[in-house]
């Protein structure tokens, strides 16, 4: 075994196995893989290609949120009922991750109680999936100041500093979140100083920060609206291109006027 293999093995044992993060890694991998696979299949169904078809029973279209709930329930309760690690815990983590992937892929449908999968509102599902993957990834790869054994004296002395920095960074990310800067808050929770940009700039209109603190500040409220408009005009096209690449471009009108279009749009 080469030196790099020894380093990789040591890193795996120290950062994944020893802190008990293997089930989380399996759940995250199953979550992402299920989402990507589901989106691929739904786009093939939409284009009329391949052997895949919508699933129906007695004229009722069965959305994939249904098996997703079943898998999440089985995996979640199985993990709680299980003791320790082992194959069973890993299997439950995979089932749970796959189930959550199916559920969140139709998050917009659950939110609006209407089939909005291929509408503009259906983009909310993609945003929630990306946010969830980012947060779970943060838990997985983030520096955990507790739960890792075998630390030397220098590492133990640095723990207080690390905990303080993590706490401060979390508070800054929380301010950015309250100001409506969701993406900066998520990235800032992983990469220091990014959330600081969102924390010191004006809040977005409609955010909790703006509603509470800009109520008696009309100039700040107006400036916030102008900045949000300019930002969205500049960057929304790139965000939409990315979402179209991942999920497919919307082709149906918004949900309130298109609930009758469910038979032609949903995934299996």
Indicate the domain borders of the chain.
1-142
pLDDT over threshold 50, residue 144: no
| pLDDT band for position 11 (cuts 50, 70, 90) | low
Q: Report the range of poorest mean pLDDT among 11-25, 84-98, 100-114, 141-155.
A: 141-155
| pLDDT band for position 38 (cuts 50, 70, 90) | very high
pLDDT in tens, 229-242: 888 888 888 877 87
pLDDT in tens, 42-57: 999 888 888 888 888 7
Higher pLDDT, 213 or 152: 213
Higher pLDDT, 235 or 36: 36
| pLDDT band for position 96 (cuts 50, 70, 90) | very high
Q: What is the mean pLDDT of residues 259-264?
A: 40
Residue 87 CA from chain centroid, whole number: 26
Give the global pTM: 0.68
Angle, in degrees to the nearest 10, between helices 123-141 and 87-105: 150
pLDDT over threshold 80, residue 146: no
Q: State the average pLDDT for the chain.
A: 80
């Amino acid at each position: 075994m080469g030196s790099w293999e020894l380093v990789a093995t040591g890193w795996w044992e120290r950062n994944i196995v020893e802190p008990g993060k293997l089930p989380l890694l399996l759940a995250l991998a199953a979550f992402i893989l299920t989402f990507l696979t589901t989106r691929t299949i739904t786009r093939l169904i939409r284009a009329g290609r391949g052997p895949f078809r919508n699933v129906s029973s007695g004229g009722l279209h069965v959305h994939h949120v249904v098996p997703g709930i079943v898998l999440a329930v089985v995996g979640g309760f199985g993990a709680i009922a299980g003791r320790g690690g082992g194959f069973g815990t890993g299997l439950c983590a995979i089932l749970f991750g796959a189930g959550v992937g199916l559920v969140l892929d139709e998050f917009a449908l659950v939110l609006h109680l209407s089939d909005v999968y291929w509408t503009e509102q259906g983009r909310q599902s993609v945003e929630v999936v990306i946010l969830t993957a980012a947060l779970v990834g943060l838990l997985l790869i983030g520096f955990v100041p507790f739960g890792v054994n075998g630390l030397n004296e220098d590492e133990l002395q640095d723990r207080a500093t690390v905990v303080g920095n993590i706490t401060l960074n979390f508070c800054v990310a929380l301010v950015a979140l309250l100001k409506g800067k969701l993406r900066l808050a998520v990235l800032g929770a992983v990469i220091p100083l990014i959330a600081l940009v969102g924390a010191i700039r004006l809040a977005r209109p409609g955010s909790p920060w703006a509603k509470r603190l800009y109520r008696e500040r009309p100039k700040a409220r107006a400036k916030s609206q102008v900045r949000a408009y300019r930002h969205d005009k500049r960057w929304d096209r790139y965000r939409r291109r990315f979402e179209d690449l991942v999920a497919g471009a919307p082709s149906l009108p918004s949900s309130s006027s298109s609930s009758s279009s469910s038979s032609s749009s949903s995934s299996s």
